Structure 1
Amino acid sequence: MELFHYLVDHDFKVTFVNTKFNHNRVIIALSAENTMPQLALVSVPDGLGEEDDRNDLSNETGDPMTCMLVDEGMECAIELGWKKGLRSVAFWPTTTLMLAMIMSITELISRGVLDAHGTPIPEPKTF
């Protein structure tokens, strides 16, 4: 959600698509103060009924979707987007964490958290 808030702050209009189950949890977790007109929350069926069309991308906002930014773990959503003619990009938040860690190695060494070989330096024990 932080990424989507960042995109909204930079004048993007974002539609956040979730399964119905997760969508309901997000709606409950958000308060009225946290809503933004440029951030639309919609859902797709999550398999709770036989009659649900699992290939139906919901577009409850009235604005046509032009592209999708999808968590890498939701590969099926990317394929579904392609079938609907949407440009789709996979996003893997873990890579951001790894980049931040790698870029912090020099500072961790200078602060004495890691040694020159990248091994954590144990804190002195007090008895």
Structure 2
Amino acid sequence: MSIEESKEVSAIMSNSELFRTPGFDFINDLIARRAKAGINMRVIRTGPGDSRDLWRSSKKDRRELRCAPEDFEMGVTTYLFDDKVSIISSRAEHYALSIQSPEFFAFQMSLFEILWSVSAPVSAS
């Protein structure tokens, strides 16, 4: 099953790495494919804020954005969908990992929900 077949994607993205890894073009392509397929996305951004007004909450793009507490920084980007957990490292370590496991997915989603509950909503663009 691919991301285009999912019903919802949840993601944790590092502000410090967002524009470097996976990169602007990759994220824009993913946004377009996901929105076209009617898939909703919840995103938590971590680390220091970014002044660029990109990828905020958007009904059109089917995205809800929250910002993690300031002291919570992750150098990796994580995508959670179906029973898959995909992790993309910082540019410094340069790796990607995808695990398909209902148990590991459930564990990671529980952690995501805890972080989501303490993260601040970001208004729509």
* TM superposition score normalised by structure 1: 0.33
* TM superposition score normalised by structure 2: 0.33
Higher helix share: 1
Larger relative contact order (C-alpha < 8 A, sep ≥ 6)? 2
Higher strand share: 2
